[in-house]
Structure 1
Amino acid sequence: MSSTESGAPVKPAGDTIARRPDPTRVNPITFNEIVDALASGMRDFRAAPLYGLFFGAVYAAGGILVVGTAAWLGMSYLSYPLAVAFWMIGPFIAVGLYEVSRRLEAGTPLSWPGVLGVIWEQRRREITWMAFVVLFVQIMWMYQVRLLLALFLGFQSFASFTEFLEVVVTTPEGLMFLLIGNIVGAGISIILFSLTVVSFPMLLDRDVDFITAMITSVRSVVTSPVPMVGWALIVTVTLLLSMLPLFLGLVLTLPILGHTTWHLYRKVVPEAEDQPEASSSSSETAA
Protein backbone atom coordinates (compact mmCIF):
# COMPACT_ATOMS: atom_id res chain seq x y z
CA MET A 1 0.00 0.00 0.00
CA SER A 2 1.34 3.44 -0.92
CA SER A 3 1.88 5.85 1.94
CA THR A 4 3.44 9.17 2.81
CA GLU A 5 6.51 9.48 4.94
CA SER A 6 4.30 10.08 7.97
CA GLY A 7 2.49 6.81 7.37
CA ALA A 8 -0.83 8.34 6.13
CA PRO A 9 -2.45 6.40 3.25
CA VAL A 10 -2.31 7.94 -0.21
CA LYS A 11 -5.36 7.81 -2.56
CA PRO A 12 -4.48 5.71 -5.63
CA ALA A 13 -3.50 7.89 -8.57
CA GLY A 14 -5.72 5.96 -10.96
CA ASP A 15 -8.94 6.15 -8.96
CA THR A 16 -11.87 6.27 -11.40
CA ILE A 17 -14.59 8.89 -10.87
CA ALA A 18 -17.94 8.09 -12.45
CA ARG A 19 -19.86 11.11 -13.66
CA ARG A 20 -23.49 11.55 -14.68
CA PRO A 21 -24.25 11.50 -18.40
CA ASP A 22 -24.48 14.92 -20.03
CA PRO A 23 -28.24 15.70 -20.16
CA THR A 24 -27.67 18.23 -22.97
CA ARG A 25 -25.99 15.78 -25.35
CA VAL A 26 -27.61 15.69 -28.80
CA ASN A 27 -27.35 13.61 -31.95
CA PRO A 28 -26.44 15.25 -35.26
CA ILE A 29 -29.18 14.89 -37.85
CA THR A 30 -29.63 15.31 -41.59
CA PHE A 31 -32.59 16.20 -43.78
CA ASN A 32 -33.41 12.50 -43.94
CA GLU A 33 -34.28 12.53 -40.23
CA ILE A 34 -36.52 15.56 -40.74
CA VAL A 35 -38.33 13.85 -43.62
CA ASP A 36 -38.72 10.71 -41.51
CA ALA A 37 -40.03 12.73 -38.54
CA LEU A 38 -42.51 14.47 -40.84
CA ALA A 39 -43.77 11.11 -42.09
CA SER A 40 -44.15 9.92 -38.50
CA GLY A 41 -46.01 13.11 -37.61
CA MET A 42 -48.49 12.57 -40.42
CA ARG A 43 -48.94 8.96 -39.30
CA ASP A 44 -49.74 10.09 -35.74
CA PHE A 45 -52.26 12.61 -37.05
CA ARG A 46 -54.01 9.89 -39.05
CA ALA A 47 -53.93 7.58 -36.02
CA ALA A 48 -55.58 10.13 -33.69
CA PRO A 49 -57.21 12.81 -35.89
CA LEU A 50 -59.72 14.07 -33.31
CA TYR A 51 -56.97 15.10 -30.90
CA GLY A 52 -55.06 16.88 -33.65
CA LEU A 53 -58.12 18.70 -34.96
CA PHE A 54 -59.07 19.75 -31.42
CA PHE A 55 -55.73 21.35 -30.61
CA GLY A 56 -55.49 22.83 -34.11
CA ALA A 57 -58.95 24.38 -33.69
CA VAL A 58 -57.99 25.84 -30.29
CA TYR A 59 -54.89 27.42 -31.83
CA ALA A 60 -56.86 28.80 -34.80
CA ALA A 61 -59.59 30.19 -32.53
CA GLY A 62 -56.96 31.92 -30.41
CA GLY A 63 -55.46 33.58 -33.47
CA ILE A 64 -58.88 34.79 -34.65
CA LEU A 65 -59.61 36.14 -31.16
CA VAL A 66 -56.30 38.04 -30.94
CA VAL A 67 -56.57 39.70 -34.35
CA GLY A 68 -60.31 40.30 -33.95
CA THR A 69 -59.73 42.03 -30.62
CA ALA A 70 -57.10 44.30 -32.19
CA ALA A 71 -59.56 45.27 -34.93
CA TRP A 72 -62.33 45.87 -32.38
CA LEU A 73 -60.03 48.19 -30.41
CA GLY A 74 -59.21 50.15 -33.55
CA MET A 75 -55.66 48.81 -33.79
CA SER A 76 -56.05 46.67 -36.88
CA TYR A 77 -52.67 47.93 -38.11
CA LEU A 78 -51.15 45.66 -35.44
CA SER A 79 -52.81 42.57 -36.92
CA TYR A 80 -49.67 41.36 -38.68
CA PRO A 81 -47.27 41.68 -35.71
CA LEU A 82 -49.92 40.24 -33.37
CA ALA A 83 -50.39 37.28 -35.68
CA VAL A 84 -46.62 36.69 -35.67
CA ALA A 85 -46.53 37.02 -31.89
CA PHE A 86 -49.34 34.49 -31.63
CA TRP A 87 -47.39 32.12 -33.90
CA MET A 88 -44.63 32.11 -31.27
CA ILE A 89 -46.78 30.27 -28.71
CA GLY A 90 -47.27 27.32 -31.05
CA PRO A 91 -44.84 25.04 -29.15
CA PHE A 92 -46.77 25.60 -25.91
CA ILE A 93 -50.14 24.87 -27.53
CA ALA A 94 -48.64 21.71 -29.07
CA VAL A 95 -47.88 20.13 -25.67
CA GLY A 96 -51.08 18.10 -25.98
CA LEU A 97 -49.92 16.83 -29.37
CA TYR A 98 -46.58 15.78 -27.90
CA GLU A 99 -48.44 13.78 -25.26
CA VAL A 100 -50.56 12.07 -27.93
CA SER A 101 -47.44 11.10 -29.88
CA ARG A 102 -45.74 9.90 -26.71
CA ARG A 103 -48.68 7.64 -25.89
CA LEU A 104 -48.90 6.29 -29.44
CA GLU A 105 -45.19 5.54 -29.37
CA ALA A 106 -45.43 3.73 -26.03
CA GLY A 107 -48.63 1.88 -26.95
CA THR A 108 -50.51 3.58 -24.12
CA PRO A 109 -54.28 3.95 -24.67
CA LEU A 110 -55.45 7.43 -25.59
CA SER A 111 -58.15 9.17 -23.58
CA TRP A 112 -59.26 12.76 -23.28
CA PRO A 113 -58.95 12.82 -19.46
CA GLY A 114 -55.46 11.35 -19.73
CA VAL A 115 -54.15 13.78 -22.37
CA LEU A 116 -55.81 16.89 -20.91
CA GLY A 117 -54.79 15.80 -17.41
CA VAL A 118 -51.13 15.68 -18.42
CA ILE A 119 -51.44 19.19 -19.86
CA TRP A 120 -53.00 20.41 -16.61
CA GLU A 121 -50.18 18.86 -14.59
CA GLN A 122 -47.60 20.94 -16.47
CA ARG A 123 -48.64 24.02 -14.49
CA ARG A 124 -46.48 22.70 -11.64
CA ARG A 125 -43.54 21.73 -13.83
CA GLU A 126 -40.79 23.50 -15.73
CA ILE A 127 -42.94 24.05 -18.83
CA THR A 128 -44.50 26.95 -16.95
CA TRP A 129 -41.12 28.68 -16.88
CA MET A 130 -40.67 28.03 -20.59
CA ALA A 131 -44.03 29.70 -21.14
CA PHE A 132 -42.65 32.79 -19.39
CA VAL A 133 -39.63 32.70 -21.71
CA VAL A 134 -41.93 32.65 -24.74
CA LEU A 135 -44.04 35.45 -23.24
CA PHE A 136 -40.92 37.57 -22.68
CA VAL A 137 -39.90 37.11 -26.32
CA GLN A 138 -43.41 38.08 -27.42
CA ILE A 139 -43.23 41.27 -25.36
CA MET A 140 -39.84 42.09 -26.92
CA TRP A 141 -41.34 41.57 -30.37
CA MET A 142 -44.32 43.87 -29.74
CA TYR A 143 -42.14 46.58 -28.18
CA GLN A 144 -39.78 46.61 -31.15
CA VAL A 145 -42.80 46.90 -33.48
CA ARG A 146 -44.07 49.92 -31.58
CA LEU A 147 -40.57 51.42 -31.53
CA LEU A 148 -40.14 51.00 -35.29
CA LEU A 149 -43.62 52.40 -35.90
CA ALA A 150 -42.69 55.51 -33.93
CA LEU A 151 -39.31 55.86 -35.66
CA PHE A 152 -40.47 55.47 -39.24
CA LEU A 153 -44.16 56.38 -39.27
CA GLY A 154 -44.44 58.66 -36.27
CA PHE A 155 -47.30 58.40 -33.82
CA GLN A 156 -50.01 58.60 -36.46
CA SER A 157 -53.01 56.34 -36.13
CA PHE A 158 -54.64 54.35 -38.91
CA ALA A 159 -58.37 53.94 -39.39
CA SER A 160 -58.02 50.49 -40.94
CA PHE A 161 -55.52 47.83 -41.83
CA THR A 162 -55.95 48.76 -45.51
CA GLU A 163 -54.85 52.33 -44.78
CA PHE A 164 -51.86 51.09 -42.80
CA LEU A 165 -50.90 48.68 -45.59
CA GLU A 166 -51.13 51.46 -48.18
CA VAL A 167 -48.74 53.65 -46.19
CA VAL A 168 -46.32 50.79 -45.60
CA VAL A 169 -46.01 49.70 -49.24
CA THR A 170 -46.20 53.10 -50.99
CA THR A 171 -43.92 55.35 -48.90
CA PRO A 172 -40.14 55.21 -48.33
CA GLU A 173 -40.67 55.33 -44.58
CA GLY A 174 -43.19 52.50 -44.73
CA LEU A 175 -40.91 50.31 -46.83
CA MET A 176 -38.04 50.92 -44.43
CA PHE A 177 -40.30 50.00 -41.50
CA LEU A 178 -41.29 46.82 -43.30
CA LEU A 179 -37.68 45.90 -44.11
CA ILE A 180 -36.20 46.58 -40.67
CA GLY A 181 -39.19 45.11 -38.87
CA ASN A 182 -38.97 41.84 -40.76
CA ILE A 183 -35.20 41.61 -40.26
CA VAL A 184 -35.56 42.15 -36.52
CA GLY A 185 -38.52 39.79 -36.39
CA ALA A 186 -36.55 37.10 -38.21
CA GLY A 187 -33.73 37.46 -35.67
CA ILE A 188 -36.12 37.15 -32.74
CA SER A 189 -37.81 34.16 -34.35
CA ILE A 190 -34.47 32.39 -34.84
CA ILE A 191 -33.61 32.95 -31.19
CA LEU A 192 -36.99 31.62 -30.06
CA PHE A 193 -36.79 28.64 -32.41
CA SER A 194 -33.34 27.75 -31.08
CA LEU A 195 -34.60 27.91 -27.49
CA THR A 196 -37.76 25.88 -28.06
CA VAL A 197 -37.26 23.46 -30.97
CA VAL A 198 -36.85 20.47 -28.63
CA SER A 199 -37.21 22.04 -25.17
CA PHE A 200 -41.00 21.71 -24.83
CA PRO A 201 -41.19 17.99 -25.70
CA MET A 202 -38.09 17.39 -23.57
CA LEU A 203 -39.69 19.05 -20.54
CA LEU A 204 -42.82 16.96 -21.04
CA ASP A 205 -40.84 13.74 -21.40
CA ARG A 206 -38.04 14.12 -18.85
CA ASP A 207 -37.41 15.41 -15.36
CA VAL A 208 -35.07 18.28 -16.30
CA ASP A 209 -35.12 22.00 -15.60
CA PHE A 210 -36.01 24.52 -18.29
CA ILE A 211 -32.45 25.89 -18.47
CA THR A 212 -31.14 22.42 -19.33
CA ALA A 213 -33.90 22.01 -21.91
CA MET A 214 -33.05 25.34 -23.55
CA ILE A 215 -29.33 24.53 -23.63
CA THR A 216 -30.13 21.18 -25.25
CA SER A 217 -32.36 22.90 -27.78
CA VAL A 218 -29.69 25.43 -28.73
CA ARG A 219 -27.08 22.66 -28.97
CA SER A 220 -29.33 20.75 -31.36
CA VAL A 221 -29.38 23.78 -33.69
CA VAL A 222 -25.64 24.40 -33.38
CA THR A 223 -24.84 20.72 -33.97
CA SER A 224 -27.02 20.44 -37.10
CA PRO A 225 -27.49 24.04 -38.31
CA VAL A 226 -28.47 23.41 -41.93
CA PRO A 227 -31.18 20.76 -41.28
CA MET A 228 -32.52 22.72 -38.31
CA VAL A 229 -32.70 25.98 -40.27
CA GLY A 230 -34.46 24.03 -43.01
CA TRP A 231 -36.98 22.75 -40.46
CA ALA A 232 -37.46 26.30 -39.15
CA LEU A 233 -38.22 27.53 -42.68
CA ILE A 234 -40.71 24.70 -43.19
CA VAL A 235 -42.48 25.58 -39.94
CA THR A 236 -42.48 29.32 -40.68
CA VAL A 237 -43.78 29.08 -44.23
CA THR A 238 -46.39 26.48 -43.27
CA LEU A 239 -47.73 28.53 -40.37
CA LEU A 240 -47.77 31.80 -42.34
CA LEU A 241 -49.68 30.22 -45.21
CA SER A 242 -52.05 28.57 -42.72
CA MET A 243 -52.84 31.95 -41.17
CA LEU A 244 -53.92 33.55 -44.44
CA PRO A 245 -57.41 31.98 -44.62
CA LEU A 246 -58.46 33.43 -41.24
CA PHE A 247 -56.13 31.04 -39.36
CA LEU A 248 -58.29 28.11 -40.44
CA GLY A 249 -55.39 26.29 -42.08
CA LEU A 250 -53.88 25.84 -38.63
CA VAL A 251 -56.56 23.27 -37.82
CA LEU A 252 -54.73 20.84 -40.10
CA THR A 253 -51.12 22.07 -40.11
CA LEU A 254 -50.57 22.53 -36.37
CA PRO A 255 -51.23 18.86 -35.49
CA ILE A 256 -48.85 17.64 -38.19
CA LEU A 257 -46.12 20.08 -37.13
CA GLY A 258 -46.67 19.24 -33.45
CA HIS A 259 -46.46 15.48 -33.93
CA THR A 260 -43.43 15.95 -36.19
CA THR A 261 -41.68 18.02 -33.52
CA TRP A 262 -42.09 15.17 -31.04
CA HIS A 263 -40.46 12.67 -33.39
CA LEU A 264 -37.70 15.15 -34.25
CA TYR A 265 -37.00 15.52 -30.52
CA ARG A 266 -36.76 11.75 -30.17
CA LYS A 267 -34.18 11.65 -32.97
CA VAL A 268 -32.15 14.59 -31.67
CA VAL A 269 -32.03 13.87 -27.92
CA PRO A 270 -30.71 10.39 -27.09
CA GLU A 271 -32.20 8.23 -24.39
CA ALA A 272 -30.50 8.55 -21.00
CA GLU A 273 -29.25 4.96 -21.16
CA ASP A 274 -27.70 5.67 -24.58
CA GLN A 275 -25.45 8.38 -23.15
CA PRO A 276 -22.03 7.06 -22.13
CA GLU A 277 -20.87 7.93 -18.65
CA ALA A 278 -17.75 10.06 -18.41
CA SER A 279 -14.83 8.84 -16.34
CA SER A 280 -11.32 9.86 -15.50
CA SER A 281 -8.77 9.21 -18.21
CA SER A 282 -6.59 6.99 -16.10
CA SER A 283 -7.71 3.49 -15.09
CA GLU A 284 -4.55 2.29 -13.44
CA THR A 285 -4.42 1.73 -9.70
CA ALA A 286 -1.44 1.73 -7.41
CA ALA A 287 -0.83 -1.36 -5.35
Structure 2
Amino acid sequence: MTSKTAGSTPPDDPMPQRQAIPKVNKVTRGDITASLKAGFSDFLARPFMSGFFGLFYAVFGILFVWSLVWLGKIWMIIPAIIGFPLVAPFAAAGLYEMSRRLQKNENFGWSEILTVMINQRKREMGWMAFVTLFVFWVWMYQIRLWLAIILQDASFSDFSGFLNTVFFTPEGWTFLAIGTCSGAFLSAVLFTVTVIAMPLLLDRDIDFISAMITSIRTVTENPGVMLTWAAIISVTMLLSLVPAFLGLIFTLPILGHTTWHLYQKAVSQAEE
Protein backbone atom coordinates (compact mmCIF):
# COMPACT_ATOMS: atom_id res chain seq x y z
CA MET A 1 0.00 0.00 0.00
CA THR A 2 1.34 3.37 -0.91
CA SER A 3 1.63 5.80 1.94
CA LYS A 4 0.33 9.34 1.61
CA THR A 5 2.78 10.69 4.13
CA ALA A 6 5.94 12.65 3.52
CA GLY A 7 7.74 9.33 3.34
CA SER A 8 6.49 9.07 -0.22
CA THR A 9 8.14 10.84 -3.13
CA PRO A 10 6.94 14.46 -3.22
CA PRO A 11 4.30 15.07 -5.91
CA ASP A 12 5.13 16.83 -9.16
CA ASP A 13 2.50 19.47 -8.54
CA PRO A 14 4.53 22.59 -7.58
CA MET A 15 1.61 24.01 -5.58
CA PRO A 16 0.17 21.10 -3.56
CA GLN A 17 -2.67 21.81 -1.13
CA ARG A 18 -1.19 21.74 2.33
CA GLN A 19 -2.92 20.26 5.33
CA ALA A 20 -4.39 22.45 8.01
CA ILE A 21 -2.69 22.86 11.38
CA PRO A 22 -3.47 19.62 13.23
CA LYS A 23 -5.20 19.35 16.58
CA VAL A 24 -2.97 18.97 19.64
CA ASN A 25 -3.82 16.29 22.21
CA LYS A 26 -3.23 16.15 25.91
CA VAL A 27 -0.33 13.85 26.76
CA THR A 28 0.71 12.28 30.05
CA ARG A 29 3.91 10.96 31.57
CA GLY A 30 2.48 7.53 30.86
CA ASP A 31 2.64 8.45 27.17
CA ILE A 32 6.36 9.12 27.57
CA THR A 33 6.83 5.69 29.13
CA ALA A 34 4.82 4.02 26.36
CA SER A 35 6.73 5.95 23.70
CA LEU A 36 10.07 4.94 25.22
CA LYS A 37 9.03 1.30 25.13
CA ALA A 38 7.92 1.63 21.50
CA GLY A 39 11.13 3.48 20.62
CA PHE A 40 13.26 0.78 22.18
CA SER A 41 11.24 -1.83 20.31
CA ASP A 42 11.91 -0.02 17.03
CA PHE A 43 15.60 0.05 17.82
CA LEU A 44 15.63 -3.70 18.48
CA ALA A 45 13.68 -4.31 15.27
CA ARG A 46 16.44 -2.76 13.14
CA PRO A 47 19.44 -2.30 15.48
CA PHE A 48 22.12 -2.01 12.80
CA MET A 49 20.23 0.49 10.68
CA SER A 50 19.21 2.53 13.74
CA GLY A 51 22.72 2.32 15.13
CA PHE A 52 24.13 3.60 11.84
CA PHE A 53 22.43 6.97 12.35
CA GLY A 54 23.78 7.14 15.89
CA LEU A 55 27.26 6.17 14.69
CA PHE A 56 27.20 8.78 11.93
CA TYR A 57 26.20 11.46 14.43
CA ALA A 58 28.91 10.35 16.88
CA VAL A 59 31.64 10.29 14.22
CA PHE A 60 30.61 13.73 13.03
CA GLY A 61 30.89 15.00 16.61
CA ILE A 62 34.36 13.48 17.04
CA LEU A 63 35.57 15.03 13.77
CA PHE A 64 34.01 18.36 14.72
CA VAL A 65 35.90 18.48 18.03
CA TRP A 66 39.12 17.26 16.39
CA SER A 67 38.88 20.05 13.81
CA LEU A 68 38.62 22.62 16.61
CA VAL A 69 41.77 21.23 18.19
CA TRP A 70 43.55 21.24 14.81
CA LEU A 71 42.49 24.86 14.19
CA GLY A 72 43.65 25.88 17.67
CA LYS A 73 40.13 26.94 18.73
CA ILE A 74 40.55 25.45 22.20
CA TRP A 75 37.94 27.69 23.79
CA MET A 76 35.26 26.37 21.42
CA ILE A 77 35.54 22.71 22.47
CA ILE A 78 33.31 22.76 25.56
CA PRO A 79 30.61 25.02 23.98
CA ALA A 80 30.66 22.84 20.87
CA ILE A 81 30.27 19.63 22.87
CA ILE A 82 27.44 21.08 24.97
CA GLY A 83 25.69 22.66 21.98
CA PHE A 84 26.17 19.68 19.67
CA PRO A 85 22.95 17.92 20.80
CA LEU A 86 20.98 20.95 19.56
CA VAL A 87 21.16 19.60 15.99
CA ALA A 88 20.06 16.08 17.00
CA PRO A 89 16.39 16.53 15.99
CA PHE A 90 17.37 17.14 12.36
CA ALA A 91 19.82 14.23 12.43
CA ALA A 92 16.98 11.92 13.51
CA ALA A 93 14.91 12.32 10.31
CA GLY A 94 15.84 8.84 9.09
CA LEU A 95 14.84 7.37 12.43
CA TYR A 96 11.40 8.99 12.22
CA GLU A 97 10.91 7.43 8.79
CA MET A 98 11.97 4.02 10.08
CA SER A 99 9.46 4.22 12.94
CA ARG A 100 6.74 5.39 10.55
CA ARG A 101 7.26 2.37 8.31
CA LEU A 102 7.58 -0.08 11.19
CA GLN A 103 4.33 1.24 12.60
CA LYS A 104 2.62 0.56 9.25
CA ASN A 105 4.31 -2.83 8.88
CA GLU A 106 5.95 -1.71 5.64
CA ASN A 107 9.02 -3.43 4.30
CA PHE A 108 12.00 -1.14 3.78
CA GLY A 109 15.73 -1.14 3.27
CA TRP A 110 18.54 1.37 3.09
CA SER A 111 17.45 2.75 -0.28
CA GLU A 112 13.92 3.58 0.91
CA ILE A 113 15.06 5.38 4.06
CA LEU A 114 17.91 7.30 2.40
CA THR A 115 15.67 8.27 -0.54
CA VAL A 116 13.12 9.76 1.83
CA MET A 117 15.84 11.69 3.64
CA ILE A 118 17.23 13.04 0.36
CA ASN A 119 13.75 14.01 -0.81
CA GLN A 120 13.31 16.21 2.28
CA ARG A 121 15.42 18.85 0.54
CA LYS A 122 12.43 19.42 -1.76
CA ARG A 123 10.13 19.87 1.21
CA GLU A 124 9.98 22.10 4.29
CA MET A 125 12.51 20.15 6.36
CA GLY A 126 15.30 22.28 4.91
CA TRP A 127 13.86 25.35 6.60
CA MET A 128 13.82 23.56 9.93
CA ALA A 129 17.44 22.60 9.39
CA PHE A 130 18.17 26.29 8.89
CA VAL A 131 16.37 27.16 12.15
CA THR A 132 18.31 24.47 14.02
CA LEU A 133 21.70 25.47 12.66
CA PHE A 134 20.92 29.16 13.23
CA VAL A 135 20.24 28.51 16.93
CA PHE A 136 23.48 26.52 17.14
CA TRP A 137 25.34 29.43 15.51
CA VAL A 138 23.77 31.88 18.00
CA TRP A 139 24.88 29.57 20.83
CA MET A 140 28.48 29.51 19.62
CA TYR A 141 28.57 33.26 18.92
CA GLN A 142 27.16 34.30 22.30
CA ILE A 143 29.68 32.03 24.05
CA ARG A 144 32.45 33.83 22.16
CA LEU A 145 30.94 37.16 23.19
CA TRP A 146 30.79 36.25 26.89
CA LEU A 147 34.29 34.84 26.66
CA ALA A 148 35.60 38.15 25.33
CA ILE A 149 33.74 40.18 27.94
CA ILE A 150 34.38 38.06 31.05
CA LEU A 151 37.66 36.24 30.32
CA GLN A 152 39.27 38.89 28.14
CA ASP A 153 42.65 38.70 29.86
CA ALA A 154 42.85 34.90 29.97
CA SER A 155 45.18 32.95 27.71
CA PHE A 156 44.24 29.49 26.44
CA SER A 157 47.40 27.85 25.18
CA ASP A 158 45.97 24.36 25.64
CA PHE A 159 42.79 22.59 26.67
CA SER A 160 43.91 22.01 30.28
CA GLY A 161 44.62 25.73 30.62
CA PHE A 162 41.14 26.53 29.40
CA LEU A 163 39.59 24.07 31.87
CA ASN A 164 41.64 25.52 34.72
CA THR A 165 40.52 29.06 33.89
CA VAL A 166 36.84 28.15 33.52
CA PHE A 167 36.48 25.86 36.53
CA PHE A 168 38.96 27.30 39.05
CA THR A 169 38.73 31.09 38.78
CA PRO A 170 35.96 33.53 39.82
CA GLU A 171 35.80 34.86 36.26
CA GLY A 172 35.38 31.30 34.98
CA TRP A 173 32.52 30.65 37.38
CA THR A 174 30.79 33.81 36.16
CA PHE A 175 31.31 32.68 32.59
CA LEU A 176 29.84 29.24 33.39
CA ALA A 177 26.82 30.73 35.15
CA ILE A 178 25.95 33.12 32.33
CA GLY A 179 26.70 30.53 29.66
CA THR A 180 24.52 27.94 31.39
CA CYS A 181 21.57 30.31 31.65
CA SER A 182 21.80 31.47 28.04
CA GLY A 183 22.30 27.90 26.85
CA ALA A 184 19.28 26.69 28.79
CA PHE A 185 17.18 29.43 27.20
CA LEU A 186 18.31 28.63 23.65
CA SER A 187 17.81 24.90 24.25
CA ALA A 188 14.28 25.52 25.55
CA VAL A 189 13.43 27.65 22.51
CA LEU A 190 14.79 25.10 20.05
CA PHE A 191 13.12 22.18 21.83
CA THR A 192 9.78 24.01 21.81
CA VAL A 193 9.80 24.76 18.08
CA THR A 194 11.26 21.45 16.86
CA VAL A 195 10.22 18.56 19.13
CA ILE A 196 6.96 17.99 17.25
CA ALA A 197 7.74 19.99 14.11
CA MET A 198 10.46 17.63 12.84
CA PRO A 199 8.42 14.39 12.78
CA LEU A 200 5.33 16.33 11.67
CA LEU A 201 7.12 17.73 8.62
CA LEU A 202 8.29 14.28 7.62
CA ASP A 203 4.86 12.75 8.19
CA ARG A 204 2.61 15.32 6.51
CA ASP A 205 2.51 17.89 3.74
CA ILE A 206 2.56 20.95 5.96
CA ASP A 207 4.61 24.15 5.93
CA PHE A 208 7.34 24.64 8.51
CA ILE A 209 5.63 27.64 10.14
CA SER A 210 2.51 25.59 10.83
CA ALA A 211 4.71 22.75 12.05
CA MET A 212 6.49 25.04 14.49
CA ILE A 213 3.17 26.47 15.69
CA THR A 214 1.93 22.93 16.33
CA SER A 215 5.11 22.13 18.24
CA ILE A 216 4.81 25.29 20.34
CA ARG A 217 1.16 24.52 21.11
CA THR A 218 2.06 20.98 22.13
CA VAL A 219 4.64 22.24 24.61
CA THR A 220 2.52 25.11 26.00
CA GLU A 221 -0.55 22.90 26.42
CA ASN A 222 1.44 20.07 28.01
CA PRO A 223 4.21 21.96 29.86
CA GLY A 224 4.90 19.45 32.63
CA VAL A 225 5.04 16.39 30.38
CA MET A 226 7.08 18.07 27.66
CA LEU A 227 9.48 19.53 30.24
CA THR A 228 9.98 15.98 31.54
CA TRP A 229 10.72 14.77 28.01
CA ALA A 230 13.14 17.67 27.46
CA ALA A 231 14.96 16.77 30.69
CA ILE A 232 15.21 13.11 29.66
CA ILE A 233 16.65 14.09 26.29
CA SER A 234 19.12 16.58 27.77
CA VAL A 235 20.48 14.29 30.48
CA THR A 236 20.67 11.27 28.18
CA MET A 237 22.42 13.15 25.38
CA LEU A 238 24.94 14.82 27.67
CA LEU A 239 25.80 11.53 29.39
CA SER A 240 26.18 9.93 25.95
CA LEU A 241 28.87 12.47 25.07
CA VAL A 242 31.12 11.41 27.95
CA PRO A 243 32.53 8.22 26.40
CA ALA A 244 33.94 10.08 23.35
CA PHE A 245 30.46 10.53 21.83
CA LEU A 246 30.12 6.74 21.46
CA GLY A 247 27.08 6.54 23.72
CA LEU A 248 25.15 8.30 20.95
CA ILE A 249 25.28 5.13 18.85
CA PHE A 250 22.58 3.73 21.12
CA THR A 251 20.86 6.71 22.74
CA LEU A 252 20.27 8.86 19.65
CA PRO A 253 18.33 6.12 17.79
CA ILE A 254 16.22 5.26 20.84
CA LEU A 255 15.42 8.91 21.52
CA GLY A 256 14.66 9.50 17.83
CA HIS A 257 12.28 6.53 17.61
CA THR A 258 10.68 7.57 20.89
CA THR A 259 10.11 11.12 19.66
CA TRP A 260 8.19 9.73 16.68
CA HIS A 261 5.83 7.77 18.94
CA LEU A 262 5.38 10.72 21.31
CA TYR A 263 4.51 12.89 18.29
CA GLN A 264 1.88 10.32 17.30
CA LYS A 265 0.29 10.66 20.73
CA ALA A 266 0.60 14.45 20.95
CA VAL A 267 -0.87 15.32 17.55
CA SER A 268 -4.24 14.14 16.30
CA GLN A 269 -3.82 11.57 13.54
CA ALA A 270 -7.37 12.09 12.19
CA GLU A 271 -7.66 13.66 8.77
CA GLU A 272 -8.48 17.33 8.97
RMSD across aligned positions (CA): 1.3
Deviation at 1:248, TM superposition (A): 0.3
1:103 aligned residue: 101
Q: Which residue of 2 aligns with 1:280?
A: none
Partners of 1:209 and 1:111 lie apart in 2 by 28
Aligned to 1:65: 63
Aligned position for 2:259: 261
Q: Which residue of 1 aligns with 2:194?
A: 196
The residue correspondences of 1:117-266 to structure 2 (distance < 5 A) are 117-154=115-152, 156-266=154-264
Task: Please give the alpha-carbon distance, in whole angstroms, between the structure 1 residues aligned to 2:155 and 2:110.
Answer: 46
Question: Is the Cα–Cα contact under 8 Å of residues 21 and 272 in structure 1 kept in the other structure?
Answer: no
What is the rounded CA distance, in whole Å, between the counterparts of 1:139 and 1:24 in structure 2? 31
Distance in 1 separating the partners of 2:198 and 2:153: 38
The residue type equivalent to 2:32 in the other structure is I
Runs of at least 4 residues off by over 4 Å: none
Quickly say closer, same or farther: Cα 1:217–1:155, change in 2 above 3 A. Answer: farther
In 2, Cα distance between equivalents of 1:216 and 1:152: 39
Map Cα deviations across residues 203-259 of structure 1 (whole Å, 9 max, x no partner): 000000000000000100001000100000000000000001100000000000000
Q: What's the TM-score once normalised by structure 2's chain length?
A: 0.91
Instruction: Answer yes or no: is the 8 Å Cα contact 2:196–2:215 preserved in 1.
Output: yes
Alignment-derived partner of residue 8 in structure 2: none
Question: TM-score, structure 1 length as denominator?
Answer: 0.86
CA distance in 2, matches of 1:265, 1:24: 12
What are the ranges of 5 or more consecutive residues in structure 1 without an aligned counterpart? Answer: 1-19, 276-287
Deviation of 1:157 (Å): 3.7
Whole-angstrom distance in 1 between the partners of 2:201 and 2:260: 11
Aligned counterparts of 2:243 and 2:99: Cα–Cα separation in 1:
27
- Separation of aligned partners in 1, 2:181 and 2:22: 30
Residue 47 (structure 1) aligned with residue 45 (structure 2): yes
1:84-114: per-residue Cα shift (whole Å, max 9, x none)? Answer: 2321110111000000000000111021100
* Aligned counterparts of 2:218 and 2:99: Cα–Cα separation in 1: 21
Q: Percent identity?
A: 51
Count of matched residue pairs = 255
Distance 1:135 1:127 in 2: 12
Matches within 5 A, 1:7-86: 23-86=21-84
Task: Give yes or no for contact 1:168–1:175 (8 Å, CA) kept in 2.
Answer: yes
2:166–2:172 Cα contact (<8 Å) kept: yes
> What letter matches 1:186 in structure 2?
A
- Alpha-carbon deviations, 1:142-167, whole Å to 9, x = none? 11101100111006441122111111
- In the TM superposition, residue 76 of structure 1 has moved relative to its aligned partner by 2.2
Residues 240, 248 of structure 2: 8 Å contact kept: yes
8 A contact 1:149–1:155 mirrored in 2: no
Change (3 A) 1:63 1:155: farther
Q: What's the offset of the Cα at 1:195?
A: 0.5
| Alpha-carbon distance, 1:272 to partner | 3.4
